[in-house]
A and B are shown apart, each in its own frame.
Chain A
Amino acid sequence: MNVHLVLDEKPNRQDQKLKTLSKYVQKYPQGWKKRLELADLLSGMGNWQQAIAEYRQVIERSPQLINVRLQLGKILQMMKREAEAIEVYGSALALSCNQGTQHHISGLIAVCKGDSHKAIADFNAATELEPDKIVHWLALGQVQKSRENPIGALRAFSQVLSLNPDDIVALIHSYDALMGVGDFQAAREKLNRAIALAPDDFGVLQRQLDQRCGMRLVSGEEGKQTKKLIGSLLRQAPHAAEAYKSLAYYHLYRGDWAQGVGVLAEFAEQHPNNPSGWYYYGQCLFHTGEYQAAGQMMLKAYGLYPNDCEIYRALCKILHVAGRLEELQPLLEEMLKRFPERWSVWATVGRVLVESFQEIERGCSVSAKGIELQPELADAWFGHGRVLALALKHQEAIAALETGWQFLPVAGGYLQSVPAAVWLGESYRSLGNDALSRRWWEEACGRSQELKSLNSATADYWQGRALEGLGDTFGAIAAYRNALNLQLFYPTRGEVKEALTRLQAAGRKNSPA
């Protein structure tokens, strides 16, 4: 297992402290306080195996320390040693005599068992008993986030922020949840607040860079500022794949594709056991159109760490375009088995079944599971609607897409709503309803203007597609060209290039001789 640790405080003289504490506990083996310090130090240094041993000894000497048990349980849980974690949490539960704490620990046990329904019920019970305890709301929000329920997560993190408006963790999670529901305005406010409070926080910096890259703030003075932030991220976490990913995409958005890919290639080679390194390298190759190589790198990431949903989703996209369907097929069942609570997994598998394997009915029923899981999430409906459209079930597709439309936030939601409007236009056209298809494409054009402030290349791509549907050849060409100039990535880039060739040919044909 490969874990990159992000610590709140800069570690100082760790080796010296480790030596001193080790000597002390050797001299006084019966004490627990210094041993606990030693265990915490080892845990902070990432030496989890040894930390576990020390925590166990602390518990032997001072069995009443519930928090030490919870700390040990958390490490075991993170190391995917769930059975041991459950045992440790169980022992903490037996010691606790506070009902709120008991529910909280029961929730942790349920998380280890993969039963997020029970975990949510337990954490909810804890919050009902002790609504002023931030830890219960945080735990609840984390579970909601892990099962891709941004609405539930947002509710929990909002409670944390009502108790402590400066809670950085809650601000970051709220930002993610708001992006998940498409409320970009509110998300931006949260991020700005987090930046003001903790500009050097790793999570804050990462999200700030994502936002700046999306807005293409990669040249001129803004570009310098972006580079500065990347430098700060790299200094803070010189071995974190995420930091190198930000640097690589900075180069990509500037048009230096080879340099960008090179950054991640070098990182992956230097950190061969880091699945994130191979994942980002694979993504980068995919985005630059190197599908076969991308597939290889992503399979390496999968080989190192098959527990991450994003690696599976990336494999679905890459192996499909790379035509490696034999390798893709066994992964589909695995995904559903590993992540049955994530709506996006059901939608992705549904789409692959329809698109790559022509299993129309199964694909549609699999993606329908996504809306069962998140019936109030616009994205889940849009995903299912798109699968239905690809299965040529346009009537059902329209119903699903229009239902999702009802769940969009009043303001924002452009990244979700613009594609949905284009898809609705296309489905209505397939059904021969020109009036409604035009109406939706016009809607898409209007909304893509709003999307430009967030992600201009994406906005131009969707605008081009809507204009193409509306028959505005020159407008579509212009939008597509803009998208390419703004470094729209593959595989969409390939699609746009083909569309441009097609449109330019049509333009020449229609233009007066």
Chain B
Amino acid sequence: MQANFGQKAFISLVSLKSENLPIKEIPSQDLSLSDYTYFWQLWEQYRDYLYSRCLQWMGGNRHDAEDLFSRAMLKAWNQWPDYKSRITKPRAWLSRLIQNLCMDLHRERKREAQRIKNFEDIQFADYAVVTSRLESPESEIFSHELRAYLHHKIESLPTRLRQSFILRYCQDKSYRDIAKELALSEDNVYKRVQQARTILQKQLSKYLAGEDDTSLDSLPPRLRLVVSMVESKPDQKVISDWEVPMTTRSMEEINYKVTVTCLENLQHTWYSSPSPLGWT
């Protein structure tokens, strides 16, 4: 089974260490055998070595590697009759075949990333563009995971970039309105939005290519909640808090100095009086 884009992206979040598997040598005289039995003997013989290579090319992702290893096995089985006469080093041939498949998969993912590159196409409120491409249950998972990932990355943007970006893409405001709201020039807002886009595009490309190690476990609880909702209510539209008007949560810590600053009125000089009211 070919793992779809969403599934791969999801499982790519789990990082595993690759194992160093032992390489076993095959006697060269056995290479003249033409029946499929020989293929399976070879496959079994090189299995551990080939899997270790596959795991390495898939960046240590065991799920991706297993999936791809199955595909490679089928492809090799199919092509064996055509190539068996020309194969002098079967281990190298099998190894190359697996490597090519791995490269194909990486290229495919990169192409996906390119397709979601244009931020104007992404509706951050409901991710319509992203979800429209993903139909299977795995795609649903991926869509929510992507939502959580983007949340995380947008939250991680520097404040000055985040504000402008959210107003532009999550609240769909014009540059003019944002400039007015943040008391900045339109040029400045545009510049900030572009900077935020560049940062996010790079991160998203990495993520879609499976090169981002961001673990869902490391996300803040609020973002993990977004992901967990996929299991209980998969059809429910998650309302992003970015849809509500910009707030100033982070700036709400009331300043201690401002609070303690006060006009000191004249003090009653108790020590010069015979009683607190100065009465006798």
Within 8 A of A (CB), among B223-276: 246-249, 251-276
Question: Whole-angstrom distance from the CB of B187 to the nearest CB of chain A?
Answer: 10
Determine whether the beta carbon of A61 is less than 8 Å from that of B184.
yes
Determine whether the beta carbon of A138 is less than 8 Å from that of B260.
yes
Type the 1/0 row for A454-475, where 1 means its CB is closer than 8 Å to any CB of B: 0100100110000000000000
Measured in the bound complex, the distance between the Cα atoms of B163 and A134 in whole Å is 29
Query: What does DSSP make chain B's interface, helix, strand, loop or mixed?
Result: loop
Within 8 A of B (CB), among A148-188: 169, 176, 179-180, 182
Measured in the bound complex, the distance between the Cα atoms of B81 and A79 in whole Å is 95
Measured in the bound complex, the distance between the Cα atoms of B263 and A276 in whole Å is 13
B114: which A residues are within 8 A, CB to CB?
none
- A74-B258, A101-B252, A383-B279 are contacts. A60–B274 as well, Cβ < 8 Å? no
- A70-B258, A214-B271 are contacts. A416–B276 as well, Cβ < 8 Å? yes
Tell whether B1 is near chain A: CB-to-CB under 8 Å.
Answer: no
Which of B251, B259, B277 is close to A64, meaning CB atoms less than 8 Å apart?
Answer: B251
Question: Whole-angstrom distance from the CB of A50 to the nearest CB of chain B?
Answer: 17
Measured in the bound complex, the distance between the Cα atoms of B183 and A210 in whole Å is 51
Type the 1/0 row for A84-120, where 1 means its CB is closer than 8 Å to any CB of B: 0000000000011110010010000000000000000
Determine whether the beta carbon of B246 is less than 8 Å from that of A64.
yes
A101: which B residues are within 8 A, CB to CB?
252, 254
Which of A98, A134, A249, A308 is close to B266, meaning CB atoms less than 8 Å apart?
Answer: A308
Determine whether the beta carbon of A98 is less than 8 Å from that of B249.
yes
Tell whether B188 is near chain A: CB-to-CB under 8 Å.
Answer: yes
Determine whether the beta carbon of B263 is less than 8 Å from that of A70.
no
B163: which A residues are within 8 A, CB to CB?
64
- How many chain B residues sit at the interface, stated as a range, is 35 or more
Measured in the bound complex, the distance between the Cα atoms of B181 and A70 in whole Å is 19
Tell whether B280 is near chain A: CB-to-CB under 8 Å.
Answer: yes
Determine whether the beta carbon of A67 is less than 8 Å from that of B183.
no
Nearest-neighbor residue (CB-CB) of B263 within chain A: A78
Within 8 A of B (CB), among A28-82: 30, 32, 60-67, 70-71, 74, 78
Determine whether the beta carbon of A458 is less than 8 Å from that of B274.
yes
Determine whether the beta carbon of B279 is less than 8 Å from that of A78.
no
Measured in the bound complex, the distance between the Cα atoms of B183 and A280 in whole Å is 48
Determine whether the beta carbon of B266 is less than 8 Å from that of A310.
yes
Which of B184, B188, B258, B264 is close to A67, meaning CB atoms less than 8 Å apart?
Answer: B258
Question: Whole-angstrom distance from the CB of B139 to the nearest CB of chain A?
Answer: 35
Tell whether B85 is near chain A: CB-to-CB under 8 Å.
Answer: no
Nearest-neighbor residue (CB-CB) of A146 within chain B: B265
Which of B185, B188, B262 is close to A78, meaning CB atoms less than 8 Å apart?
Answer: B262
Number of interface residues, chain A, beta carbon within 8 A? 74
Which of A67, A276, A313, A416 is close to B254, meaning CB atoms less than 8 Å apart?
Answer: A67
Tell whether B278 is near chain A: CB-to-CB under 8 Å.
Answer: yes
Measured in the bound complex, the distance between the Cα atoms of B204 and A477 in whole Å is 94
Question: Whole-angstrom distance from the CB of A223 to the nearest CB of chain B?
Answer: 16
Measured in the bound complex, the distance between the Cα atoms of B270 and A489 in whole Å is 12
Question: Whole-angstrom distance from the CB of B242 to the nearest CB of chain A?
Answer: 14
B264: which A residues are within 8 A, CB to CB?
6, 203
Determine whether the beta carbon of B184 is less than 8 Å from that of A66.
no
Determine whether the beta carbon of A462 is less than 8 Å from that of B274.
yes
Determine whether the beta carbon of B276 is less than 8 Å from that of A492.
no
Determine whether the beta carbon of A98 is less than 8 Å from that of B279.
no
Which of A242, A311, A415 is close to B270, meaning CB atoms less than 8 Å apart?
Answer: A415
Tell whether A436 is near chain B: CB-to-CB under 8 Å.
Answer: no
Tell whether B182 is near chain A: CB-to-CB under 8 Å.
Answer: yes
Question: Whole-angstrom distance from the CB of A14 to the nearest CB of chain B?
Answer: 17
A455: which B residues are within 8 A, CB to CB?
271
Query: What does DSSP make chain A's interface, helix, strand, loop or mixed?
Result: helix
Question: Whole-angstrom distance from the CB of B222 to the nearest CB of chain A?
Answer: 15
Question: Whole-angstrom distance from the CB of B152 to the nearest CB of chain A?
Answer: 22
Which of A63, A95, A492 is close to B183, meaning CB atoms less than 8 Å apart?
Answer: A63
Nearest-neighbor residue (CB-CB) of A58 within chain B: B183
B279: which A residues are within 8 A, CB to CB?
351, 383, 386, 419
Question: Whole-angstrom distance from the CB of B233 to the nearest CB of chain A?
Answer: 26
Determine whether the beta carbon of B280 is less than 8 Å from that of A3.
no
Determine whether the beta carbon of B185 is less than 8 Å from that of A419.
no
A478: which B residues are within 8 A, CB to CB?
none
Tell whether A147 is near chain B: CB-to-CB under 8 Å.
Answer: no
Measured in the bound complex, the distance between the Cα atoms of B251 and A97 in whole Å is 11
Type the 1/0 row for A371-388, where 1 means its CB is closer than 8 Å to any CB of B: 000000001001100100
Tell whether A144 is near chain B: CB-to-CB under 8 Å.
Answer: no
Determine whether the beta carbon of A415 is less than 8 Å from that of B275.
yes
Determine whether the beta carbon of B183 is less than 8 Å from that of A179.
no
Determine whether the beta carbon of B256 is less than 8 Å from that of A134.
yes
Type the 1/0 row for A287-301, where 1 means its CB is closer than 8 Å to any CB of B: 100000000000000
Nearest-neighbor residue (CB-CB) of B266 within chain A: A310
Measured in the bound complex, the distance between the Cα atoms of B128 and A425 in whole Å is 88
Measured in the bound complex, the distance between the Cα atoms of B270 and A214 in whole Å is 8
Nearest-neighbor residue (CB-CB) of A309 within chain B: B265
Tell whether A347 is near chain B: CB-to-CB under 8 Å.
Answer: yes
Measured in the bound complex, the distance between the Cα atoms of B134 and A179 in whole Å is 73
Determine whether the beta carbon of B275 is less than 8 Å from that of A279.
no
Which of B251, B271, B273 is close to A66, meaning CB atoms less than 8 Å apart?
Answer: B251
- A211-B271, A276-B266, A415-B276 are contacts. A65–B248 as well, Cβ < 8 Å? yes
- A32-B183, A210-B270 are contacts. A308–B188 as well, Cβ < 8 Å? no
Tell whether A344 is near chain B: CB-to-CB under 8 Å.
Answer: yes
- A65-B248, A379-B276, A492-B280 are contacts. A135–B254 as well, Cβ < 8 Å? yes
A61: which B residues are within 8 A, CB to CB?
183-184
Which of A66, A317, A488 is close to B278, meaning CB atoms less than 8 Å apart?
Answer: A317
Within 8 A of A (CB), among B171-207: 181-185, 188
A127: which B residues are within 8 A, CB to CB?
none
Which of A98, A139, A249 is close to B252, meaning CB atoms less than 8 Å apart?
Answer: A98
Nearest-neighbor residue (CB-CB) of A242 within chain B: B267
Determine whether the beta carbon of B248 is less than 8 Å from that of A64.
yes
Question: Whole-angstrom distance from the CB of B271 to the nearest CB of chain A?
Answer: 3
Question: Whole-angstrom distance from the CB of A66 to the nearest CB of chain B?
Answer: 5
Measured in the bound complex, the distance between the Cα atoms of B247 and A101 in whole Å is 13
B181: which A residues are within 8 A, CB to CB?
63
Type the 1/0 row for A198-213, where 1 means its CB is closer than 8 Å to any CB of B: 0000010010001101
- A62-B183, A70-B254, A176-B267 known; 6 other A-B pairs, CB under 8 Å? A101-B254, A249-B269, A308-B266, A310-B267, A313-B268, A462-B274
- What are 15 A-B contacts defined by CB distance under 8 Å? A62-B183, A64-B251, A65-B251, A97-B248, A135-B255, A135-B256, A138-B259, A249-B269, A283-B272, A347-B277, A379-B277, A415-B270, A419-B274, A419-B279, A458-B274
Nearest 7 pairs between A and B by C-beta?
A214-B271, A61-B183, A310-B266, A64-B248, A419-B275, A135-B259, A97-B247
